[in-house]
Structure 1
């Protein structure tokens, strides 16, 4: 696989730094270029700058230094091992809020349906009891007993069965 331009440039600079003759030639060229820019007025000493130029130059220096420091920090973080154990790859972002809401709604619906079924069951039991008491009442009425004596006899029967 080929190298990217950045990798090529990095390799070129490293080779230039290794060779002392090339390094010295490069430094001389850079010095000449800087001197030429100073003569043409492209580059100025800070003492020759106006206040406005000083402010803008210092602002550029601050931003450049900030970028340099942050790059250094990130590189340092990458190079130094952390003291905490590595997190497992299973730790991922949780479900979306929409998914959580839909799950909550499903649970609520299931609880409502379950509660409804329980209430229907209780209602059916109560209806059976009503029918049972109706039958008891009708049987006893046919025998000619009063309603108060009916309740007493039923309670007595219930106590005997328990």
Structure 2
């Protein structure tokens, strides 16, 4: 009976410790790591607090701006008045946090154009796809990147031409 209680208590303590470590990693370490990576790239932003991020500053700026509406064509600065302040202080590209979620705000048209024209395949597929599904799927079109993917696509593409698909569709 005593051994069962000790085992139960040890399991509860170990489970609590693991939960604490995971929460600490998700709420503290990951946001700090992301902010550090962005700072290395020269992107800065307002300092954030532990659980709220920059929500206090956002609410303060919104409550201060509830006066008479200004005549402006910049609708974003009317809806998000804190963006103007941060844009002037940190530049056209800055980061801020909503809770523990880090957000990158990009106001530079050239950077936005580059981001939107860059397709996800140019960046490559996520590595977890190959790590998790690689032994099952091999280096096929679903899991490969780069030249291997291009070769697999070149082999597969003729089989997906409309005339071949129509012929095979009649057999199904």
**Do both share a fold (TM > 0.5)?**
no
Q: TM-score scaled to structure 1, two decimals?
A: 0.28
Structure number with higher strand proportion: 2
Structure number with higher helix proportion: 1
